[in-house]
């Protein structure tokens, strides 16, 4: 029996069950079922004392004596009761079925091991239908942990329960019938204290102790992360050999002219370093694949523009992709303004670009007249052809994994350089798991003269004070955002809603002294553009918006960000929203308005916002607050398929695995040394040399 054996051939499975497994759990081979890991374990290696019982415990074991056996109820509904006592207290036991049989088996005064789930009833713990074993029978407690597997409703209905799974695994793993090939080298196993693979699978399904379980988990988690990182590094290496980069050797006329005559400020050292780092890539003859991290407001756009100019100087075109139409338009506008003196032609392509414009744009891209194409997802979806696409920049796509990137690059026959820019300073674990194949650059410095944004939490009764403050700021020449979580009133959810909020603000901030505008996703693209323009030009003082302004929007004169029902937003969203202010020299403020009833977690988020402006710290904290439970979310949004590891708890292990994979790639880049035969065979068997898109 080996890993690819169909489960139909397993003892205790058969045709019907295997069809059910396939349908319900997507399990068809031995390998699949081995990877159907337990959700948790029932620990029968430990005996609890009655005084330590808690209501939320799953099944527990107690050791004590039985006393006070008593029948009750009526002939139709009889029950049997008894008391169970240890040195620390007593609990009740009840039975409603098989009463006579049970009564015969219970002996007062004798010692038993009780196993069951406690529930609190009238201030006392009680067990219904507990399992009881005479202590004198074998004088020992069970020495194993019992695995509990995830099941579906249908499986339960068809009577496929825990026992059946345990039996299948017992038959599969107990004997010598199965062979699970090792996939890590001896060297790695020794260095990182890892047990062998076969034992690990046996022990994760049938551990005899917590200690064994721990070893099994460490081994299998290591494997999961190690191969993820190894594949990332192999992709990277493969690109270096197979994807000759377009060489961009010179800094020419456009770059120089812009730098000397147009650039409106001095670059920060961090920006300069990053431009140099990127330019080194562009000269290298290898395709650049780089992640540019920099907190909100650190000035990533100008870096993108400068390297775009290098590409143009070398005769190539650039495409820049933004996550929202508003951001695409804004980039289009600022690039157009800044590059106007140089006479560089720029195109905009979004979902709402008209057909006639599209045709013209396509023609210009193909004959090379249009140098920079800025757009939304439409850039990927539509068949845009370039004369010579040299550089692709992705702005603020937080989870643009390997697969998405591959799709974007599939288009051309050359290998354009690639830059992903993000302000959501994702925690290290996430960065390694999503962007493990990329080189990383950081802008770790804000432009000079920025004042830290002041953040405060305010309740409804302070609203008029807030309005007064906003008025003062506007009179001093500044502008404000008011962001709402929803557009329309929702009866059930008592969120502040945009329409209502807008009316209220128009009432307070009266014309002609104040101009209040609305911006939300329900507006037409034309309306959105008009509203944004009025705000950018300072005609509008207050922009009442939904999260369409969340990423990228840049109006340096705006100094106030009011977030309504702020408890409804996630931490990274709040930070992104706050990042819309504090982008100029003015002291800026972020006001987090909250309802009266907010959860503990929301409270923690808001406090974290008040305490730090550092996006990286907030991202790490966010991951901790949300916990590993959220990992499913990342799975759906293109994250790696991690079955065992958690991005919250296994950071250290991830770093170890990254290191091990790196070392391997350096010492044996083609995996042809004898000692790495297991790794090589495993990758081959998975065909993972080629098929790497399933990482993301």
Q: What is the dihedral of CA 90, 96, 98, 103, to 10 degrees?
A: 30
The radius of gyration computed from the CA coordinates of the chain, to the nearest angstrom, equals 32
CB of residue 451 vs ligand ADP: minimum separation in angstroms?
13
Which residue lies nearer to Mg ion by CB, 288 or 320?
320
Q: How many C-alpha atoms does 223 have within 13 Å on its Cβ side?
A: 26
Closest approach of Mg ion to the CB of residue 677, in Å: 47
Q: Quick one: what does residue 268 bind among Mg ion, ligand ADP, none, with the CB cut-off 5 to 8 Å set by partner type? A: ligand ADP
State the distance between the two ends of the chain, measured CA to CA, in whole angstroms: 31
Quick one: what does residue 267 bind among Mg ion, ligand ADP, none, with the CB cut-off 5 to 8 Å set by partner type?
ligand ADP
**CB of residue 302 to ligand ADP, shortest distance in Å:** 5
Task: Select the residue whose beta carbon is closest to ligand ADP and give its number.
Answer: 299
How many C-alpha atoms does 190 have within 13 Å on its Cβ side? Answer: 4
118 is in the binding site of which of Mg ion, ligand ADP, none (Cβ under 5 to 8 A by kind)? Answer: none
Q: Which of ligand ADP, Mg ion, none has residue 556 at its interface (CB below 5 to 8 Å by kind)? A: ligand ADP
Q: Residue 584 interacts with Mg ion (CB under 5 A)?
A: no
How many other C-beta atoms are found inside a 10 Å radius of the C-beta of residue 502? 20
Least distance (Å) between residue 523 CB and ligand ADP: 23
Place of tokens 């917590």: 210
680 binds, among Mg ion, ligand ADP, none (CB under 5 to 8 A by kind): none
Binding part of the chain for Mg ion, among 330-338, 383-391, 409-417, 552-560 by CB under 5 A, reads 552-560
Least distance from C-beta 580 to Mg ion, angstroms?
10
* Contact status, residue 45 vs residue 143, Cβ threshold 8 Å: yes
Residues in contact with Mg ion, counted by CB under 5 A, come to a total of 1
Cα–Cα distances in Å, from 360 out to 156, 287, 392? 60, 30, 21
Q: Return d(Cα 481, Cα 212) in angstroms, integer.
A: 56
**The only residue of 294, 552, 615, 639 in contact with Mg ion, by rule CB under 5 A:** 552
228 vs 392, beta carbon nearer ligand ADP: 392
Residue with tokens 């890539």: 281
User: Which of ligand ADP, Mg ion, none sits in contact with 298, Cβ below 5 to 8 A by type?
Assistant: ligand ADP
Q: Which C-beta is closer to Mg ion: that of 504 or that of 557?
A: 557
Q: CB within 8 A of 591, min separation 6: which ones?
A: 455, 456, 458, 466, 560, 561, 562, 563
Residue 583: which of Mg ion, ligand ADP, none does it interact with, CB under 5 to 8 A by kind?
ligand ADP
Among 561, 512, 559, residue whose Cα is nearest residue 539 = 512
Q: Which residues bind ligand ADP (CB under 6 A)?
A: 265, 267-268, 271, 294, 296-302, 423, 447, 554, 556, 583
Least distance (Å) between residue 587 CB and ligand ADP: 16
693 exposure class (CB count in 10 Å sphere: 0-12, 13-18, 19+): middle
DSSP category for residue 557: T
For 167, phi then psi, to 5°, come to: -60, -45
Per the CB < 8 A criterion, the answer to whether 495 and 486 are in contact is yes
CB nearer to ligand ADP: pick between 279 and 586? 586
CA dihedral 513, 519, 522, 527 (to 10 degrees): 80
Helices (H), 243-324: 253-257, 269-283, 300-313
Minimum distance, C-beta of residue 299 to ligand ADP, in the bound complex (Å) = 3
Q: Quick one: 223 or 550, whose CB is closer to Mg ion?
A: 550
Using the minimum distance from each CB to ligand ADP, give the nearer residue, 21 or 589: 589
299, interface contact from Mg ion, ligand ADP, none, CB < 5-8 Å by kind: ligand ADP
**Residues of the shown chain interacting with Mg ion in the complex, contacts defined by CB under 5 A:** 552
């Amino acid at each position: 029996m080996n890993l690819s054996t169909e489960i139909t051939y397993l003892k205790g499975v058969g045709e019907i069950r295997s069809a059910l497994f396939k349908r319900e759990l997507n399990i068809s081979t031995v390998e699949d079922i081995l990877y159907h890991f337990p959700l948790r374990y029932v620990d029968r290696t430990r005996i609890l004392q009655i005084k330590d019982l808690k209501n939320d415990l799953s099944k527990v074991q107690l050791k004590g004596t039985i006393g006070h056996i008593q029948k009750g109820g009526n002939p139709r509904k009889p029950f049997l009761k008894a008391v169970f006592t240890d040195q620390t207290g007593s609990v009740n036991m009840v039975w409603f079925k098989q009463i006579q049989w049970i009564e015969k088996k219970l002996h007062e005064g004798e010692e038993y091991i009780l196993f069951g789930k406690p529930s609190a009833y009238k201030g006392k713990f009680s067990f219904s239908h507990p399992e009881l074993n005479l202590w004198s029978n074998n004088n020992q407690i069970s020495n194993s942990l019992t695995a509990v597997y995830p099941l579906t409703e249908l499986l339960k209905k068809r009577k496929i329960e825990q026992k059946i799974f345990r039996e299948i695994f017992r038959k599969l793993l107990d004997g010598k019938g199965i062979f699970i090939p090792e996939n890590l080298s001896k060297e790695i196993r020794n260095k990182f204290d890892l047990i062998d693979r076969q034992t690990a699978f046996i022990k994760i399904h049938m551990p005899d102790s917590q200690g064994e379980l721990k070893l099994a988990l460490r081994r299998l988690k290591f494997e999961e992360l190690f191969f993820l990182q190894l594949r990332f590094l192999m992709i990277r290496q493969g690109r270096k050999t197979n994807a000759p980069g377009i060489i961009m050797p010179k800094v020419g006329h456009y770059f120089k002219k812009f730098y000397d005559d147009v650039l409106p400020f001095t670059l920060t050292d961090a920006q300069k370093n990053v431009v140099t780092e990127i330019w080194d890539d562009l000269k290298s003859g290898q395709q650049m694949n780089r992640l540019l991290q920099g907190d909100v407001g650190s000035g990533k756009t100008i870096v993108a523009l400068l390297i775009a100019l290098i590409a143009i100087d070398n005769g190539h075109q650039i495409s820049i992709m933004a996550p929202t139409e508003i951001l695409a338009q804004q980039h289009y506008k600022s690039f157009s303004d800044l590059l106007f003196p140089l006479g560089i032609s720029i195109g905009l392509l979004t979902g709402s670009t008209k057909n006639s414009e599209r045709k013209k744009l396509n023609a210009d891209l193909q004959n090379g007249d249009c140098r920079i194409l800025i757009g939304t997802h439409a850039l990927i979806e539509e068949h845009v052809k370039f004369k010579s696409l040299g550089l692709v920049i992705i702005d603020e796509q937080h989870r643009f994994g390997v697969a998405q990137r591959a799709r974007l690059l599939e288009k051309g026959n050359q290998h354009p350089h690639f830059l992903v820019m993000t302000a959501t300073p994702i925690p290290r674990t996430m960065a390694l798991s999503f962007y493990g194949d990329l080189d990383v650059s950081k802008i770790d410095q804000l432009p000079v003269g920025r004042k830290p944004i002041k953040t405060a939490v305010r309740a409804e009764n302070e609203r008029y004070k807030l309005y007064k403050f906003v008025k003062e700021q506007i009179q001093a020449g500044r502008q404000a955002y008011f962001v709402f979580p929803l557009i329309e009133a929702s009866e059930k959810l008592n969120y502040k809603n945009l329409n209502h909020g807008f009316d209220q603000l128009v009432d307070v901030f009266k014309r002609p002294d104040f101009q209040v505008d609305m911006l939300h996703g329900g507006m037409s693209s034309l309306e959105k553009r008009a509203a944004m323009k009025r705000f950018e030009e300072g005609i509008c003082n207050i922009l009442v918006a939904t999260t369409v302004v969340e990423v990228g929007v840049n109006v340096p004169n705006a100094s106030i960000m009011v977030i309504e029902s702020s408890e409804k937003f996630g931490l990274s969203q709040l930070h992104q929203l706050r990042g819309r202010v504090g982008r100029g020299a003015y002291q800026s403020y972020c006001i987090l308005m909250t309802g009266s009833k907010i959860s503990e977690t929301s409270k923690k988020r808001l406090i974290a916002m008040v305490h730090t402006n550092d996006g990286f710290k907030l991202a790490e904290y966010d991951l901790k607050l949300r916990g590993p439970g959220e990992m499913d979310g990342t799975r759906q949004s293109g994250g790696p398929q991690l079955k065992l590891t958690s991005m919250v708890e296994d950071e250290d292990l991830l770093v170890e695995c990254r290191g091990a994979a790196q070392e391997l790639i350096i010492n044996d880049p083609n995996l042809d040394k004898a000692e790495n035969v297991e790794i090589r065979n495993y990758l081959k068997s998975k065909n993972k040399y080629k098929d790497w898109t399933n990482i993301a």
